[in-house]
Amino acid sequence: MVLKDKTAIVTGASRGIGKAIALTLAENGADVAVIDLNLEQADEVAAEIKRMGRRAVALAGNVADADSVEDFVTKAAQELGKIDILVNNAGITRDTLLVRMKEDDWDAVLDVNLKGTFNCTKAVARIMMKQKYGRIVNIASVIGLMGNAGQANYGASKAGMIGFTKSVARELASRNITANAIAPGFIVTSMTQVLSDDMKEKLKEQIPLARLGTPSDVANAVLFFASDAASYITGQTIAVDGGMVMQ
C-alpha cells in the first residue's frame, strides 16, 4: 500500500485511462475523488473503489470552468480531509486538418486540455502548499512531443501541458510538491477501438514493442509519480508508448 493515507483527485475518471488511474491509486491505498462530467459513470467508479475498502466520492465537474473546479476541489477536500495527489487526465479531441479547423474546435480542445489543467492545478496547489506536500501528474500525449496531422489543436494543448508542468515544477518545488507529465502513445480505449484492424496494424508498425498500450500501462506510471519512490523527480515527462517516441 504505497499510497496508504494519501488522497487523490482524478479528472476524467469515469472510463478509459482515467478510470484505470483512479482504480490503481485506490488499489494501492489512496482515497479518491472521481471527477467527471458524467456523474452516473463516476458514481460507478466510486462504488468500485469503496468495495476495495477505500473512501471515494464522485463529483460532477467541468475542468474548463474555473468555478466548477473550485467547487469540486472544495468538496473533495472536505470529504477526504486533504488532497495529496492531483491527476489531470480530463481531455477531448476535435480532429480535423488545419485549413478545415473551426475556431470552436481549437478553443474547445485548448479549454479542456490546457486551461482545464491550469484550473485544477491552481485550485489544488493552494491546498498542497499549506500542507507542504503534493504530487501533480498531468496526462499529456506523445502527440505533444511529435505532432500529428489533423491534430494541431490537440498537439498544441498537450505540448502546452508539458511546458506548464515544467514551470509548475519549478514554482512549487520549495513546498515539497512535484509536478510531472506522462505522454501516452496509442492506448486501447474507446477512442482507438473505432479504428479498423488495418489501421491498428499500421499503428503497431510504428511501435518497437509492436502492441498498443493498455490503460493500466499509463496508470502504473501515474502510480510511480504519485508515490514516494519518485520523490526526487519533478518537471519530467515519461512517454508510455512502447518506444514509439524516443528522446
How confident is the model over 4-20, as pLDDT tens digits?
999 999 999 999 999 99
User: What distance in Å separates the CA atoms of residue 148 and residue 70, rounded to the nearest whole number?
Assistant: 33
Q: How far is CA 125 from CA 19, 83, 168, in A?
A: 23, 9, 9
In the predicted model, what is the mean pLDDT of residues 112-127?
98
Flag the least confident range among 72-86, 109-123, 196-210, 230-244: 196-210
How confident is the model over 184-203, as a mean pLDDT? Answer: 84
Q: For residues 178-185, give the mean pLDDT.
A: 98
Distance set, CA 191 to CA 21, 31, 177 (Å): 17, 28, 32
Give the alpha-carbon dihedral of 138, 81, 42, 186, to 10 degrees: 20
Question: Is the separation of the CB atoms in 219 and 21 below 8 Å?
Answer: yes
Mean pLDDT across the chain, nearest whole number?
A: 96
pLDDT band at 22 (very low <50, low <70, confident <90, very high): very high
Contacts with 175 (C-beta within 8 Å, 6 or more apart), sequence order: 128, 129, 132, 133, 134
More confident residue, 196 or 181: 181
**Overall average pLDDT of the 71-88 stretch:** 98
* Whether the predicted pLDDT of 138 surpasses 80: yes
pLDDT of the residue at 190: 75
Please give the average per-residue pLDDT across 114-121, as a whole number. 98
pLDDT score for 192 = 74
Least confident of 47-61, 108-122, 191-205, 231-245: 191-205
**Residues with active-site annotation:** 154
Q: Is the pLDDT of residue 191 over 80?
A: no
In 3D space, the residue among 148, 164, 130 whose CA is nearest the CA of residue 206 turns out to be: 148
The percent of residues in the chain predicted with pLDDT above 70, rounded, is 100
pLDDT on residue 23: 98
Model confidence pLDDT, tens digit, residues 211-243 = 999 999 999 999 999 999 999 999 999 999 999
